[in-house]
Chain A
Amino acid sequence: MIRIANGQGFWGDWLEAPVRLVEQGPIDYLCLDYLAEITMSIVQKQKQENPELGYARDFPPLMARLSKQLRERGVTVIANAGGVNPAACAREVKRLAPDLKVAVVHGDDLFPRLDDLLARGFPLKNMDTGEDLATIRERVLSANAYIGAFPLVEALATGAQVIIAGRCTDTALTLAPMVHRFGWREDDYHLLAAGTIAGHIIECGAQATGGNCQVDWQTIPDFANIGYPIVEAEPDGSFTVTKHPGTGGRVSSDVVKEQLLYELGDPKNYITPDCIADFTTIQLKDTGPNRVRVSGIAGKARTPFLKVSLSYNWGYNAIGSLVYSWPEAYGKARLAERIVRERLSQLGLSFDEIWAEILGFNACHGPAALPFPDVPEVQLRLGVRGPSRKDVDRFTRELIPLVLSGPPTATGFGDGRPPVREVVAYWPALVPREEIRTSVEVFA
């Protein structure tokens, strides 16, 4: 049996979580998932401004903080902290924690190869809309193939204590140590599906241990000291989800079910670079306090393609808000919205969308929101999105004047005009698997 923990569900997650996972009980592998789809464009911009950046900057200081304990306790770290510059990330880890052996997985970054791929007849069509990439080629900021567990296994085989990848799948971080230690092969697709589902359960950190769970949330103990999830994995593909004793939170089959359904598509066809996992085969059993056993998982062979995640400059947006107090707070906010819309129309500005929602009423649930009484206050939240920075900037000047010139009891304008922000959009595509060749570089 091996213990695999996840200490970061995204870049920005609780900084203490990975430290506590190492300090508060036994684990063999510490996975850290830093990359969301849009994170890649952020790190790409950072790299353009400074060639030594372009990775999750939380990661090297964390490795310095944990360096001694990782070596003493024999814990291996597997992280997609590399972003678009895993080698620079590794150099910074070595600078701050010279005693750690670091291995980097290369090969996911397709940005330098885009024109070559297009010229050789791979259109990188948008999987959702079917459009050719050529329509936005000049605006592309980043392009990365999702790589699976096997390139990470190659890195684990070097004996490194810290494995840094770029755009690998979240589930690969958890699956890789199982493949490495149990000797699973590329055609063991039931086992690969089991390890992939283990990865899905823990990839969002404490969402597997009671965070964001609707079941009896009022009784979930000690959120402030919530334990992050640990998988106790067996060579036959079965595993137990748990957390360190004495930590806060809750692991139960209800909690695990919610996480299994999080961001799920077709449950029979959960496609990763490693396999296709079938979520309708999962069997769960509560086997003790904060212990859920998972077994019975089946899968199918992997597809001939890898998904590519591209990001590109789309345009601009700005979102502003005003607060209106009782009485008739809602009616005042709606009148303010109508005034701004009319003024934007008079100015002849062009937007892709103008969106208004009333926080405190229908912003979250829209048409499904409860009818409501005369509430003490609401916040009007009004945004626009469009290709023209000039038009979006003009919108930002149209909201605040209403404090003096619109319906009464307006407040909450203390931050002034809302900023105009660049909008980077996401473009999913496919590329044949054989186009992606990965390699491992060791920083001893």
Chain B
Amino acid sequence: MKIALSEIAHARSGDKGDMANIGVIAYQPQHYPVLVREVTAERVKSYFGNFVKGEVERFELPNLGALNFLLHESLGGGGTLSLRIDAQGKTMSAALLRMEIEVADGEL
């Protein structure tokens, strides 16, 4: 079945220059493998569409039940150059949590 990512994870986002980072954290350790399977770098890139001009990298932190995404060239120039209201990508974590993921009945 499809659920929103927010049902099993929370997140925090921020910036480094023109790159946003989004950390996605499973509430329960048993849901970390679901994150690893469902929230791929490719899905995150397509989810944010033309906000992300560069690549999306994904790093795994199994000790925290968390994934860290780096969204290159995703902040309209970043820092002082960006004309966006959210030039530091602080709200991108909330946007990602609305993404739909596929889970099996036994996984929740």
Q: Point out residues on A near B: beta carbons under 8 Å.
A: 37-38, 128, 212, 214-215, 254, 257-268, 279-284, 314, 317, 319, 353, 355, 357, 359, 363-370, 381, 383-385, 423-426, 428
Cα A384 to Cα B65 with chains together (Å): 41
Cα A261 to Cα B26 with chains together (Å): 13
Chain B residue with minimal CB distance to A214? B10
Chain A residue with minimal CB distance to B93? A214
Measured between beta carbons, the chain A residues less than 8 angstroms from B59 are: 266-268
Measured between beta carbons, the chain A residues less than 8 angstroms from B65 are: 257
Cα A423 to Cα B79 with chains together (Å): 10
Within 8 A of A (CB), among B10-27: 10-12, 14-18, 21, 23, 25, 27
| Chain B proximity of A211: nearest CB distance (Å) | 11
User: Is B86 in the interface zone, CB < 8 Å from A?
Assistant: yes
Cα A353 to Cα B21 with chains together (Å): 23
| Chain A proximity of B4: nearest CB distance (Å) | 12
Q: Point out residues on B near A: beta carbons under 8 Å.
A: 10-12, 14-18, 21, 23, 25, 27, 47-51, 59-66, 68, 70, 76-77, 79-81, 83-86, 90-99
Determine if A367 and B70 form an interchain contact, defined as CB atoms under 8 angstroms apart.
no
Measured between beta carbons, the chain A residues less than 8 angstroms from B18 are: 128
Determine if A367 and B48 form an interchain contact, defined as CB atoms under 8 angstroms apart.
yes
The 10 listed contacts between A and B (C-beta, < 8 Å) are A38-B79, A128-B18, A214-B11, A254-B10, A257-B64, A261-B11, A263-B14, A264-B21, A368-B92, A426-B80
Q: Could you list 10 further interchain pairs (A-B, Cβ under 8 angstroms) beyond the known A359-B85, A367-B47?
A: A258-B12, A258-B23, A259-B12, A261-B25, A261-B64, A262-B14, A353-B77, A364-B95, A368-B96, A426-B79
Measured between beta carbons, the chain A residues less than 8 angstroms from B23 are: 257-258, 260-262, 264
Determine if A38 and B80 form an interchain contact, defined as CB atoms under 8 angstroms apart.
yes
Chain A residue with minimal CB distance to B49? A367
Which of B27, B63, B70, B98 is A281 in contact with, Cβ under 8 Å? B63
Measured between beta carbons, the chain A residues less than 8 angstroms from B10 are: 214-215, 254, 258
Chain B residue with minimal CB distance to A363? B85
Which of A258, A259, A385, A426 lies at the interface centre, i.e. has the most chain B CB atoms within 10 A of its CB?
A258
Determine if B83 and A265 form an interchain contact, defined as CB atoms under 8 angstroms apart.
no
Cα A236 to Cα B52 with chains together (Å): 42
| Chain B proximity of A283: nearest CB distance (Å) | 6
Determine if A280 and B83 form an interchain contact, defined as CB atoms under 8 angstroms apart.
no
Measured between beta carbons, the chain B residues less than 8 angstroms from A37 are: 79
Measured between beta carbons, the chain A residues less than 8 angstroms from B15 are: 263
Which of A38, A128, A314, A319 is B83 in contact with, Cβ under 8 Å? A319
Determine if A364 and B93 form an interchain contact, defined as CB atoms under 8 angstroms apart.
no
Determine if A283 and B79 form an interchain contact, defined as CB atoms under 8 angstroms apart.
no
| Chain A proximity of B33: nearest CB distance (Å) | 16
Determine if A366 and B77 form an interchain contact, defined as CB atoms under 8 angstroms apart.
no
Measured between beta carbons, the chain B residues less than 8 angstroms from A267 are: 59, 61, 68
Which of B21, B61, B99 is A263 in contact with, Cβ under 8 Å? B21
Measured between beta carbons, the chain A residues less than 8 angstroms from B81 are: 314, 385, 423, 425
| Chain B proximity of A325: nearest CB distance (Å) | 20
Measured between beta carbons, the chain A residues less than 8 angstroms from B97 are: 214
Cα A423 to Cα B66 with chains together (Å): 36
Cα A37 to Cα B87 with chains together (Å): 14
Chain B residue with minimal CB distance to A260? B64
Determine if A368 and B85 form an interchain contact, defined as CB atoms under 8 angstroms apart.
no
Chain A residue with minimal CB distance to B88? A263
| Chain A proximity of B50: nearest CB distance (Å) | 6
Chain A residue with minimal CB distance to B18? A128
| Chain A proximity of B20: nearest CB distance (Å) | 10
Cα A283 to Cα B50 with chains together (Å): 37
Measured between beta carbons, the chain B residues less than 8 angstroms from A363 are: 84-86
Which of B17, B25, B68, B86 is A428 in contact with, Cβ under 8 Å? B17
| Chain B proximity of A44: nearest CB distance (Å) | 14
Cα A258 to Cα B17 with chains together (Å): 20
Given contacts A214-B11, A258-B23, A259-B12, contact A366 B48 (CB under 8 A): yes
Measured between beta carbons, the chain A residues less than 8 angstroms from B96 are: 368
Which of B61, B68, B77, B98 is A368 in contact with, Cβ under 8 Å? B98
| Chain B proximity of A357: nearest CB distance (Å) | 6
Determine if B92 and A264 form an interchain contact, defined as CB atoms under 8 angstroms apart.
no
